[in-house]
Amino acid sequence: MSEHKVSVIRGDGVGVEVIEEGIKVLTAVGEQYDVTWNFIEHPWNSDYYFEHGRMMPTDALDQMAESDVIYLGAVGHPDLQDHVTLNGLLLPIRRTFDQYVCERPSVLYPGITSPLRDPKPYDIDMLVIRENTEGEYAEVGGFQYAGFEEEIGIQSGVFTRRGCERIITYAFEQARRHDRRKHVTSITKSNALGYGMLVWDRAFDRVAEGYPDIETNSLLIDAACMDFVRRPESFDVVVGSNLFGDILTDIGAIITGSMGLAPSGNIDPERRFPSMFEPVHGSAPDIMGKGIANPMAAVLSASMMLRHLGHDDAADVVDKAVIFLIGQGEILTPDLGGTSSTSQVGDAIINALGKG
Ligand code: ATP
Ligand code: MG
């Protein structure tokens, strides 16, 4: 038997609704695989901000540091600027716990209609690895004023050799660990961004030398965006900077069917700190409170969490249940063309555990 302490931040909007289902599924699969969960709920979200003037209390990170993992829904509110939720909650967690890997699989499951022209199931099956702690989102820069309405914004990126090498190494390790992954694509823009991106390119070449069994190529971000649409089957493991990974994972999510299907992990591979698992989507204010949010992204994120904690068998069972349900095509939320509710889909996933 094993027991895990999980910090739960349901957050805002549909985040609250989908995490409910994720916890139901984790509890059910835990009973089957002798895993006990100690869920610690943290009420940190936009309401907390409106009441306290901050997204989380000053000792929030200390509170979470003792947990094995963090399970997050989404934070965001129409009346709050994104940078408040980002700088007040997400970024401090990612940076303090050195979750330098953001891992986002993009898989086209049987039964899903892609907006692309007739790709076959599993034609799209890639793992996008995004650098999560530096790069373009390092918040280096400032404003200068040269007179009325003559403001100048300076935004710099930070690319350390160590930061680039460790994320690229993680990508190669994923390619080596998974039998069906044999290729790593580096995303760059060193033709125009001739400092930071050159450090990235050099780091990639150096790391690649250590993995002669893995094929590699390097693509400019613009060409990569095009190929994500034109020939997504050509990608396997893709590694990119903070900004480029951000852009590509949204394309990856939409070509595989729905924002409601895309899971992610913010990972500290060295396991010094808790890693955090969350659906890629946000709080989706347009559909919140209607009970129609797709919980599958949150459930697949829970499965990534199970894998991180060493419960590969349990994770496989959860993945298969979700894939089975999608293939069956009966109990689905409206984003996938169904009429079922969030909790009906959650229940159906639990009923499908062991199937598929
Ligand atoms: P935030 O500011 O919190 O990031 P957002 O406005 O960027 O929110 P998202 O939450 O990322 O929006 O949603 C983008 C679109 O995808 C919306 O139309 C939303 O309804 C849809 N969507 C997001 N999550 C889901 C889900 N779980 N199920 C169904 N549709 C979803
Ligand atoms: Mg968003």
Mean pLDDT over 186-198 rounds to: 96
Predicted local distance difference test score (pLDDT) of residue 168: 98
Q: What is the pLDDT of residues 29-81, one digit of tens each?
A: 999 999 999 999 999 999 999 999 999 999 999 999 999 999 999 999 999 99
3-state secondary structure the chain: CEEEEEEEEEECCHHHHHHHHHHHHHHHHHHHHCEEEEEEECCCCHHHHHHHCCCCCCCHHHHHHCCCEEEEEECCCCCCCHHHHHHHHHHHHHHHCCCCEEEEEEECCCCCCCCCCCCCCCCCEEEEEEECCCEEEEEEEEEEECCCCCEEEEEEEECCHHHHHHHHHHHHHHHHHCCCCCEEEEEECCCCCCCHHHHHHHHHHHHHHCCCCCEEEEEEHHHHHHHHHHCHHHCCEEEECHHHHHHHHHHHHHHCCCHHHCEEEEECCCCCCCEEEEECCCCCCCCCCCCCCCCHHHHHHHHHHHHHCCCHHHHHHHHHHHHHHHHHCCCCCHHHCCCCCHHHHHHHHHHCCCCC
For residue 74, which atom of ligand 1 is closest to its CA? Answer: 3
For residue 279, which atom of ligand 1 is closest to its CA? Answer: 27
Q: What's the gap in Å between 42 CA and the centre of ligand 2?
A: 22
pTM value is 0.94
For residue 287, which atom of ligand 1 is closest to its CA? Answer: 20
Predicted local distance difference test score (pLDDT) of residue 17: 98
Q: How many CA atoms lie within 13 A of 162 on its CB side?
A: 1
Q: What is the pLDDT of residues 193-231, one digit of tens each?
A: 999 999 999 999 999 999 999 999 999 999 999 999 999
Residues with CB under 6 A from ligand 1: 14, 18, 74, 76, 82, 259-260, 281-284, 286-287, 293-294, 297, 333, 335
**Nearest ligand (C-alpha, residue 290):** 1
**Nearest ligand (C-alpha, residue 11):** 1
Q: What's the gap in Å between 76 CA and the centre of ligand 2?
A: 8
Q: Rounded to an integer, what distance in angstroms lies between the CA atom of residue 252 and that of residue 208?
A: 24
Q: What's the gap in Å between 104 CA and the centre of ligand 1?
A: 16
Q: What's the gap in Å between 93 CA and the centre of ligand 1?
A: 22
Q: What is the pLDDT of residues 255-302, one digit of tens each?
A: 998 889 999 999 999 999 999 999 999 999 999 999 999 999 999 999
For residue 283, which atom of ligand 1 is closest to its CA? Answer: 3
Mean pLDDT over 223-243 rounds to: 96
Predicted local distance difference test score (pLDDT) of residue 146: 80
Domains of the chain, start order: 1-106+265-356 (3.40.718.10), 125-255 (3.40.718.10)
Q: Which of 12, 259, 288 to mutate to test the pocket of ligand 1 (most atoms within 8 A of CB)?
A: 259
For residue 13, which atom of ligand 1 is closest to its CA? Answer: 3
Predicted local distance difference test score (pLDDT) of residue 64: 98
Q: What is the pLDDT of residues 93-138, one digit of tens each?
A: 999 999 999 999 999 999 998 999 888 999 999 999 999 999 999 9
What is the pLDDT confidence band of residue 139, given thresholds at 50, 70 and 90? Answer: confident
- ipTM of the complex in this document: 0.93
Determine which residue's CA is closest to atom 1 belonging to ligand 1: 282
Is the per-residue pLDDT at 89 higher than 80?
yes
